[in-house]
Structure 1
Amino acid sequence: MDAFDRLHTPPPPTNENPARAERVESSLEAWAHEIGIADYLGEINLSGFGNMMCLANPRAVSDTHLAVLAKCFVAEYITDDTCEDNAHGVTPAQLYPQLMMGTFTIEPTVRLAEYAKDWDVRTGGSLLCRAWRGAMASLHEIASPTQAGRLRHALATLFIGFGGESGWRLGARTPPAWEYLMERQLNSFFCSMILPDVAAGYELDPRLYYLPEVQRALRAAALSSNLMNDVYSLWRDQEQKSTAYSLPLILAAEEGIALEVAVDRTIDLHNELIDFFQDEKDRLTAAHGPVLGRYLSDILNWLAVNRYWHVTSDRYRKPA
């Protein structure tokens, strides 16, 4: 039984397709060898990525479409680990230059012949840059320019959020809850969830996607998933003795409350955000039509599958 069954995240779909998931993982593994990140994929355990992509995108056009989104997911994984205190992480002082190179890699930047070799050497030596260069190249093969631009814009926001975290680390400072929740609207699962139309072969009109009320609903959905992540990752945050990346630990320290109470408070905030998103999904669909409704329903499905991923993935399972 899920210890956090009070979370309002909808249950994930049950129509698993093991054969398709295996094909996606095989494609992902071949791509990882091609661009030089295979060792990383071996470390984080590839098993389960294909199944997550299939569940999150049940109406995917093809295995190729699923594999492309899986590549973006892995690149986001690597970005997150680059900012963490682990074997792949960099120091806070090194983080912004690394994110700058990542941004240089994903944007259609100008290549000056005099500096091209230096750029290639530096970005080629970065796991983050290799992953995003490969992922974005694959994405451009199946996505429209505006869909790819949507991800680039979201990544720029994500990188600003990571920069905020590096400031906490450089200052050896634990942020108050209000600041943490502000930063988590920038550094969230937003990038991972915003391309369901790419997988399913349709395109949400940018004039709808960039409506402020649509963006607000999507940010609420992404933040809800991050608070869910805080709940399932609590044991790991406790082991790292860090409160900078966990709302329950921040609330417990800031308000002098028991950790169990802080977890309940975090779940309440998660549920408030989920309820807001579902209400907005219905309202926005009625106001703007079925394509936006389909897109927002795909986002809700992604939230459900991401929770399933947290329940079943070794990354979030406390060692016995």
Structure 2
Amino acid sequence: MIDFGPTDVCFAVPFPAGISPDADAAGTHLVDWFDRMRISDRGEVQGAAPFDPRQAHVVGLWSGMCYPQARGEVLNLITCFNGLWLVFDDRFKGPHSKTPATVAPVADRITGRLYQPDRPDPMDALESAAADLLIRLRQRTSPVWYARFAGHLERFLAGLVSESLARDHSPTIEDYLGWRRWTIGTWANLDLVETAIGYDVPPSVYHAPAMRELRHAAADAVIGINDVFSLPNDQAGQDPNNLVLRCRAEHGVDRDAAVEWVRRHVERAHARFQRAAARVPFLCDDLRLDEEHRAGLGRYIEGAGQLLRGIHDVHLVNPRYRS
């Protein structure tokens, strides 16, 4: 019996809220794109609930909350990515639809499509939509950015297979966080911050320890928030892959104590993010970056914080997480 809802848990998110003025237009674009890609047609995406166009439209609002600096076609692309992500997630809901035998073939097909989105193989509606989106992103972004983004999505898809293999086991919290950092999708979301602000983080900066810690902290915060809000759904679907449930199993505590443990985990992750962000100006000094790069990195850090705030706020209003 689930006797609490997400509004009973208070997360203090130390980043400002915002919204793009183009959010409504992006929602309209997504509705049209779903119709064109036949995503809304019953049966076209096997195993996924057909998307209500009204829900598709509100994804524009959610995307605008997460990427308030994005405008026009850039926000359209981000909204299509987020909408398709929800459809993909729906495809693997329930105890029988997340078996390795069902997850692995789809993951392998989409992975191949990441690096050859325009190859002429037969595709279902989901794969066709993914190909269309990837082609649009590749045309608009740099080769270095796209290669990194595709690599993050490949790890996400591989993580889904690991997640399906763990359903019949009891992974430790450490093991769970290890592959959940990939399946939560935060690193691909952070890549899209660069697209939203029109600035590519240089590879030498991106792979620096401070930036790596910033990404890990962001992922850990999103994992905790998502797993608290999705706990009723995960329990109803008999899905053990949830940080609250992993905490209960590993520490032998009741639900309320486990939720509090996760809340503090999120609080620590936010603090880690802020400490890592504070190190970036010193990184700029060490690398002798010019003012253009310093300004770009400042916008990126700001956008990453806005993303974390937006993800939290979307969980508050998203009917998927209402118990």
Is TM > 0.5 for Structure 1 vs Structure 2? Answer: yes
TM-score of the superposed pair, with normalisation by structure 1: 0.85
Q: 1:270 aligns with which of 266, 288, 296?
A: 266
Q: Which of these residues, 71, 74, 82, is aligned with residue 65 of structure 1? A: 74
- 1:78 equivalenced with 2:87 (yes/no): yes
Residue among 294, 297, 322 paired with 1:292? 297
CA shift at 1:255, angstroms?
Answer: 2.3
Q: 1:74 to 1:258 in 2, by over 3 A?
A: same
Give the partner amino acid of 2:208.
L
State the identity as a percent: 24
CA distance in 2, matches of 1:300, 1:216: 14
Separation of aligned partners in 2, 1:175 and 1:152: 27
Offset of 1:141 from its aligned partner? 3.0
Question: Alpha-carbon deviation of 1:270?
Answer: 1.1
Contact 2:31 2:53 in 1 (8 A): no
Mapped partners of 2:103, 2:276: distance in 1: 36
Check if 1:188 corresponds to 2:198.
Answer: no
Deviations 1:259-296 (A, max 9, x none): 10000011111111110011100111332233223212
2:317 corresponds to: 312
Stretches of structure 2 that go unaligned for 5 or more consecutive residues are: 1-5, 42-49, 285-293
Runs of at least 4 residues of structure 1 off by over 3 A? Answer: 14-17
Whether the 8 Å contact between 1:28 and 1:71 is mirrored in structure 2 is yes
Q: 1:69 to 1:105 in 2, by over 3 A?
A: same
Assess if the C-alpha contact under 8 Å between 1:281 and 1:293 holds in 2. Answer: no
Measured after TM superposition, the shift of residue 160 of structure 1 is 1.9
For the aligned residue pairs, the C-alpha RMSD in angstroms reads 2.4
1:308 and 1:109 map into 2 onto residues whose CA distance is 33
Match for residue 226 of structure 1 among 210, 219, 223: 223
Q: Show the counterpart of 2:3.
A: none
Deviation at 1:207, TM superposition (A): 2.4
CA distance in 2, matches of 1:44, 1:103: 30
Q: In structure 2, how many angstroms separate the alpha carbons of the residues matched to 1:186 and 1:221?
A: 12
Separation of aligned partners in 2, 1:250 and 1:299: 27
AA aligned opposite 1:84: K
Distance 1:67 1:315, change over 3 A: same
User: Could you tell me how far 1:137 is from its partner in structure 2?
Assistant: 1.5
Shift of 1:15: 5.2
Q: Is the 8 A contact 2:40 2:52 kept in 1?
A: yes
Change (3 A) 1:15 1:68: closer
Q: Secondary structure at the match of 2:174?
A: helix
Of residues 34, 40, 45, the one that matches 2:55 is: 45
1:153 corresponding residue in structure 2: 151
CA contact (8 A) 1:161 1:187 kept: yes
Shift of 1:104: 0.8
1:209-268 CA distances to partner (integer Å, 9 max, x unpaired)? 23243123212201211111011111212222332x211112212322111000001111
Question: TM-score scaled to structure 2, two decimals?
Answer: 0.85
- CA deviations 1:98-135 (Å, max 9, x no partner) are 11100111113896xxxx5xxx22xx1262x2232121
After superposition, the Cα gap between the structure-2 partners of 1:274 and 1:94, relative to the gap in structure 1 and judged at 3 Å, is same
**Aligned partners of 2:107, 2:57: CA distance in 1, in Å?**
28
Closer, same or farther in 2 for the Cα pair 1:95/1:304, shift >3 Å?
same
What is the CA distance between 1:36 and its match in structure 2? 2.1
Contact 1:189 1:226 in 2 (8 A): no
- Are the counterparts in 1 of residues 277 and 301 from structure 2 also a CA contact under 8 Å? yes
Equivalence for 2:45 = none
Q: 2:287: which partner in 1?
A: none
Letter in 2 for 1:290: A
Task: Please tell me whether residue 214 in structure 1 is matched to residue 216 in structure 2.
Answer: no
